[in-house]
């Protein structure tokens, strides 16, 4: 860290109390900030690899939505399970997977979590409690409810959490999975990440509801909508949902309001998104906002956050080189692994 600047006395006592009221320590806040910054650095590394022609396939970014993924996942215990989807790279990192593993997956390398069998963040790792998504959106809602069923059946105080976009929230599995979770009171949390768009389709073309969490009522479960760009808000709403699940009281439906700050994927310039809207949300960037909070509450000085950002950037450059040095899978292994064989 940078030189010992005198730590600012919290300029705003109320602000300081915000993370403390949530039971978060200063160290927790530093960890959250580091995860946010790492997530963005990793997404940016992926975009850069894409532009340099290094990726066999496409590149997705969670820019603008990091707080939703990191904050919600941060509310979980080590042995809880997540089902990350398209904009949850931050959740994968929060759950403990190294960025270099994610980069290798984008690059299709032999030592990636999917050994070159799948790309981008379509990766899973049961040791870290990460269930891989499919491209087919919505499938993880019943699947994560099923993980929650396993926990409940065995009397384990564990929770399964997954996310869904505002667009994919229109698919049938949303209903089937959430309804089953509700009827069986499973330890399950579902967060709709409403980022305003599903590729080029605005949320108003998906639903007539202004608050997507109102759907909760239809399932007889609690719901809440909140600012997904404020990581403390994310935690303030996710934590009770997780606790409720862990206590055996059933699932909760949450809606995090956020914004997709890039195109659907790197190939998409998102020219269909009004400029003013982008500017509006740019001013509400989740990382800049939390950084300001850290300064105002005296958790970190500007020098300290600058130094942290620099360290993360340097680490990411190193991990990018490391990932690029990994070999592609040997073509002779293509047929391996279609079926599980032998003992687990």
Partner 1 sequence: MPPTNYIEAITQAIDEEMARDDRVFCLGEDIGKFGGAFKATKGLFEKYGADRVRDTPLAESGIIGVAIGAALLGMRPIAEMQFIDFISCGFNQIVNQAAKIHYRWGARVPLVIRGPCGGMVRGGPFHSQSPEAWFTHTAGLKVVAPSTPADAKGLLKSAVRDDNPVIYLEHKWLYRRPSVRQELPPGADRLVPIGRAEVKRPGRDATVITYSAMVHLALEAAEVIQREDGAAVEVVDLRTLVPLDKPTLLDSVRRTSRVLVLHEAAKTGGFGGEVAAVIAEEAFEHLDAPVRRLAALDTPVPYAPTLEDAALPSVGKIVAALRELLAY
Ligand X SMILES: Cc1ncc(C[n+]2csc(CCOP(=O)(O)OP(=O)(O)O)c2C)c(N)n1
List the interface residues with ligand X, window 149-168 (CB under 6 A).
165-168
Q: How far is the CB of 335 from Mg ion (least distance, A)?
A: 37
Residue 320, token pair as written in the block: 């990018």
Query: Where does this chain touch partner 1 (CB under 8 A) — which range of 42-50, 150-158, 191-199, 295-303?
Result: 150-158
Query: Where does this chain touch partner 1 (CB under 8 A) — which range of 33-41, 59-67, 128-136, 287-295?
Result: 128-136
Query: What b/e readout covers 297-306, taking b as 16+ CB neighbours within 10 angstroms?
Result: bbbbbeebbe
> Is residue 61 within 8 Å of residue 47, measured between CB atoms?
yes
What is the H or E stretch that residue 224 is in? strand 223-227
Q: In sequence order, what are the beta bridge partners of 225?
A: 255
Query: Where does this chain touch ligand X (CB under 6 A) — which range of 195-203, 273-281, 292-300, 330-338?
Result: 195-203
Q: Does 199 bind ligand X (CB under 6 A)?
A: yes
> Is residue 58 within 8 Å of residue 105, measured between CB atoms?
no
> Is residue 7 within 8 Å of residue 268, measured between CB atoms?
no
Q: How far is the CB of 142 from partner 1 (least distance, A)?
A: 2
Q: How many CA atoms lie within 13 A of 208 on its CB side?
A: 0
Sign of CA dihedral 111, 113, 115, 118: negative
Q: How far is the CB of 135 from ligand X (least distance, A)?
A: 5
Give me the sheet containing 81-83, strands edge to edge: 81-83, 160-165, 188-194, 252-257, 223-227
Among 64, 116, 119, 165, binds Mg ion (CB under 5 A): 165
> Is residue 110 within 8 Å of residue 143, measured between CB atoms?
no
Q: In sequence order, what are the beta bridge partners of 197?
A: 202
Query: Where does this chain touch partner 1 (CB under 8 A) — which range of 57-65, 130-138, 195-203, 229-237?
Result: 130-138
List the interface residues with ligand X, window 48-107 (CB under 6 A).
86-87
CA-CA distance, 226 to 50, in Å (whole number)? 33
Residue 30, token pair as written in the block: 């530093």
Q: Does 166 bind Mg ion (CB under 5 A)?
A: yes
Partner that binds at residue 75, options ligand X, Mg ion, partner 1, none, CB closer than 5 to 8 Å by kind:
none
Among 71, 124, 167, 250, binds partner 1 (CB under 8 A): 124
> Is residue 304 within 8 Å of residue 5, measured between CB atoms?
yes
CA-CA distance, 111 to 232, in Å (whole number)? 36
Q: How far is the CB of 339 from partner 1 (least distance, A)?
A: 5
Query: Where does this chain touch ligand X (CB under 6 A) — which range of 94-102, 190-198, 249-257, 296-304?
Result: 190-198
Q: Does 195 bind ligand X (CB under 6 A)?
A: yes
Q: Does 27 bind partner 1 (CB under 8 A)?
A: no
Residues within the interface to ligand X (CB under 6 A): 86-87, 135-137, 165-168, 171, 193, 195, 197-199, 260, 264
Residues near Mg ion (CB under 5 A): 165-167, 195, 198
Residues at the site binding partner 1, with contacts judged by CB under 8 A: 81, 113-115, 117-118, 122-126, 131-132, 134-136, 139, 141-151, 153, 160, 172-173, 175-177, 179-180, 183, 337-341, 344
């Amino acid at each position: 860290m940078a030189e010992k600047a005198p730590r600012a006395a919290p300029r705003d006592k109320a602000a300081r109390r915000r993370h403390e009221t949530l039971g978060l320590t200063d160290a927790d806040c530093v960890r959250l900030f580091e995860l946010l910054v790492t997530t963005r650095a990793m997404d940016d590394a992926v975009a850069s690899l894409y532009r340099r022609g290094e990726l066999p396939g496409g590149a997705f970014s969670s820019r603008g939505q990091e707080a939703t993924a990191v904050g919600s996942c941060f509310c979980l215990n080590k042995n809880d399970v997540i089902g990350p989807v398209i904009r949850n790279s931050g959740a994968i990192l929060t759950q403990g997977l190294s960025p270099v593993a994610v980069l290798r997956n984008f690059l299709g390398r032999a030592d990636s979590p999917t050994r070159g069998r799948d790309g981008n963040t379509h990766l899973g790792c049961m040791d870290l409690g990460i269930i891989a998504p499919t491209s087919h959106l919505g499938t993880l809602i019943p699947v994560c409810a099923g993980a929650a069923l396993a926990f409940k059946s065995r009397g384990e105080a564990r929770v399964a959490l997954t996310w869904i976009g505002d667009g994919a929230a229109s698919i049938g599995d949303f209903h089937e999975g959430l309804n089953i979770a509700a009827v069986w009171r499973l330890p399950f949390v579902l967060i709709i990440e409403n980022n305003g768009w599903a590729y080029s389709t605005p949320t108003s073309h998906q639903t007539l509801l202004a608050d997507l969490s109102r759907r909760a009522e239809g399932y007889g479960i609690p719901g809440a909508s909140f600012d997904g760009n404020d990581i403390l808000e994310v935690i303030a709403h996710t934590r009770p949902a997780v606790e409720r699940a862990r206590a055996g009281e059933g699932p909760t439906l949450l809606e995090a309001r956020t914004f997709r700050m890039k195109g659907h994927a790197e190939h998409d310039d998102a020219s269909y998104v009004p400029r003013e809207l982008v500017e509006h949300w740019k001013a509400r960037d989740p990382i800049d906002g939390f950084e300001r909070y850290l300064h105002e509450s005296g958790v970190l000085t500007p020098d300290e956050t600058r130094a942290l950002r620099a360290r993360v950037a340097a680490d990411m450059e190193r991990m990018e080189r490391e990932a690029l040095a990994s070999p592609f899978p040997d073509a002779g292994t293509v047929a391996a692994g279609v079926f599980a064989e032998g003992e687990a």
